[in-house]
Amino acid sequence: ATNSTNGASKQHKFDPNFTQSVIDATGPKTSPRMRQVISSMIQHMHDFVRENEITMDEWMAGIDFINQAGKMSDDKRNETQLLTDIIGLESLVDEVTFTLAGEANDAPTATAILGPFWRKDAPKRKMGETIVFGIEDGDHTWMHGTVTDFNTGKPIENAELDVWHTAPNGLYEQQDPDQPDMNLRGRFTTGPDGKYDFYCLRPTSYPIPDDGPGGKLLQLLDRHPMRPAHIHFIVSAPGYRPIVTQIFDRRDEHIKDDTVFAVKDSLIVDFLPFEGDPKAQFELPYDFKLASF
C-alpha cells in the first residue's frame, strides 16, 4: 500500500540522523532567514523522499522535468512559474502575503497571482485610449473607475494601472507572432480625480500553455488546462502598497475550476451591455482601493 497514512511509519526504515546532519552543515555566516527557510526545506524534502520511497529513477525524472521547464523559460515564457501555478503554490504565496499585510479579504481590493505573462515597461497610454490593436472581432469593452484610498475613500492622484490580457485566440501578445508587440497591454496614470478609463476586450477563457512540462503535469494529473477569462492589473501609487490582481468574468464556465486556483469572490465582475458608443459593446465599471503604507 502506498497511501499517505502509512507514510510516516516508513520513515523508521531510514537513518533518523541523516537529515539533521545535513541541516547542521549550514555555516555560521548564513543569514537567519536563509537558515530558517533552507533548514525547513531540507526537512520537508527529506521527509517527502522517505515517506514516498522515491527511487533513483523517479528522482532523476523529477530533475529532468525541472530542467526542461528551465530550458523553456526566458523573458517571454516562465514555465517554472507555471508549474508552481498548477500545484496552487503561487496562489498560496499570494494568500500568505495578503494575510501578512493584515487586511480583510474584501478590502482593500483583493490580490491575485501575477502569473507568467506580465511584461515590464508596457507602453504608457493616455486615459481613454485603447490597448487593442488589429483585432476587429471580440467584445470591445470600455473599462473605467476610480482608484481610491481604502481608509479615507479619497481619490488617489498619480496611481498607475498596469493592465494586460489575452486576445480572443487565447494568446498573450508574446505568445503570438501575429500580434503587434505589447498588444493588449498598457499603463495608465490617474489625475487628481483618481479616475481611469480605457478600451480593452471582454476576455475569453483559454488554456494555459500545455506544450511543455506544465501540459505534461496536467495530463499526468488528469486535469484540464483552462483558466476563466480574466484581466490582470498591477495598481500602484506613491505612498500606497501596490496590488497585483486579476478580475474574472462571472459568466465564464471555468469560474469555479480555474486551473491555477486564483479566483476570489470579490474579484468576479459583470460586463454590462453598453449602448451608444461605437467603440464598445460592453462596459465594465470597477474601482480599486489601495491601502497606504
In the complex with Fe ion, which residue's Cβ is closer, 116 or 213? Answer: 116
Binder among 69, 82, 132, 159 for ligand MBD (CB under 6 A): 82
CB of 246 to ligand MBD, least distance (A): 7
**Which one, of 117, 205, 130, 124, lies nearest residue 164 by Cα?**
117
CA–chain centroid gap for 79, Å, is 13
For cell 527529506, the residue is 46
CB of 291 to ligand MBD, least distance (A): 23
In the complex with Fe ion, which residue's Cβ is closer, 115 or 214? Answer: 115
| Cell numbers placing 249 | 468574468
Report what 113 binds from Fe ion, ligand MBD, none; CB cut-off 5-8 Å by kind: ligand MBD
Binder among 163, 167, 208, 218 for ligand MBD (CB under 6 A): 208
CB of 43 to Fe ion, least distance (A): 34
CA distance 67 to 284: 42
Site string for ligand MBD, 240-269 (x = CB under 6 A): --------------------x-x-------
In the complex with Fe ion, which residue's Cβ is closer, 50 or 202? Answer: 202
Cα-based distances in Å from 104 to 98, 107, 293: 9, 6, 16
- Indicate whether 213 belongs to the interface with ligand MBD (CB under 6 A): no
CA distance 227 to 179: 21
CB of 93 to ligand MBD, least distance (A): 12
Binding residues for Fe ion, how many (CB under 5 A)? 1
Binder among 69, 83, 117, 167 for ligand MBD (CB under 6 A): 117
CA distance 122 to 141: 20
For cell 475550476, the residue is 257
Strand pairing class (268-269; 243-249):
parallel
Amino acid at 150: F
Cα-based distances in Å from 124 to 37, 188, 197, 274: 39, 6, 13, 26
Please give the residue whose beta carbon sits closest to ligand MBD in the complex.
115
**Which one, of 100, 151, 108, lies nearest residue 243 by Cα?**
108
- Indicate whether 115 belongs to the interface with Fe ion (CB under 5 A): yes
In the complex with Fe ion, which residue's Cβ is closer, 140 or 185? Answer: 185
| Binding residues vs ligand MBD (CB under 6 A) | 82, 85, 113, 115-117, 208, 227, 260, 262
| Binding residues vs Fe ion (CB under 5 A) | 115
